[in-house]
Amino acid sequence: MIDTAFILCGGKGTRLAPLTNDIPKPLLPIQGKPILEHLIDLLKHYGVKKVILGTGHMGDKIQNYFGDGNVFDVNILYTREKELLGTAGALKLATKYIDGPFFMFNGDNMYGLSLESLFEKHKQTNAEITIALKSVENPSMYGVAELDGEMIVKFLEKPDNPPTNLINAGAYVIEKQILDLIPDGNVSIEREIFPKIAEKKKLFAFRFDNQWFPTDTMDRYKNANEQWKSPF
C-alpha cells in the first residue's frame, strides 16, 4: 500500500468569502471538524502515514493547527508557495519528500472512496496516473473525462454537451517519475501534465460510487455540511 499523500491546500477560497476572510479553506468545518482533518482521517484509515501539505495562502494557520501531525497519528510535512504555482507547480515543491508512488488530493473535497481499491486499479492497468472519477447529474459544471474503456483519452472543461457524466474528483495515484515532467513555475497538472500522460496511454480511470462532496462554493459547502456521513 502507498504510504505517502500530497494534499493541495494553498487556495484562497474567494468564492467562500466571508467564511474564508480569516480561515483558510481547508480549515473550514464540516460537522465540527476541518475539511482537511476529515481527509487525514481517511488517509490514516488506509495506513497512509506520511502526509505532505502544499500550503500557500494562510499556510501558517494550517501548520499551527496540524503541527507535525503527532496528535493526529500521522507525520505531516509542509511545502509553501511564495507565489501561485498551479496544481503541478505546487506538487513539484514536494519532490524531496516523495520516494515512490503517492496519492494526491484536492484539500477542499470530502471523500469516502476506498484508497485500497484506487491503488489496486492503478497497479492493474500499469498506469502512470490514475484519476478517481465520480458520476454526477450535471457534469457540465466540471472537467469531464472522455474514456476508451478504462483509459482516459482527454478531459473537456465544462463542456456544453458532455460525452459522459464522469468528472475528475480531485483524487489521484501518481508515479514518482511524473515529477520529472513538471517544469519550474506555474504549471497545471490538469491542463499540462495529464494530456502528456494520456498521449502515452498511461492515464487511467478509477470510477467510484462512494461519497464525494466538493466545497468550493457556498452552496456546495452547505450541501457537504448537511449530507456528509462518516465512512468509518
Positions marked active-site: 158
Per the document, the length of the chain is 232
CA atoms within 13 A on the CB side of 119: 18
CA angle 153, 155, 156 (to 5 degrees): 130
| Cell numbers 494553498: residue | 10
Q: Compute how many other C-beta atoms are within 10 angstroms of the C-beta atom of residue 68.
A: 12
Q: How far apart are alpha carbons 156 and 26 in whole angstroms?
A: 27
Q: 207: Cβ–Cβ under 8 A, 6 or more apart, which residues?
A: 133, 134, 135, 166
Q: Quick check: 4 and 46 in contact, CB under 8 A?
A: no
Q: Quick check: 176 and 122 in contact, CB under 8 A?
A: no
Q: Which three cell numbers stand for residue 129?
A: 496516473
Q: Which three cell numbers stand for residue 232?
A: 468509518
CA atoms within 13 A on the CB side of 5: 30
Of residues 227, 178, 166, the one with CA closest to residue 202: 178
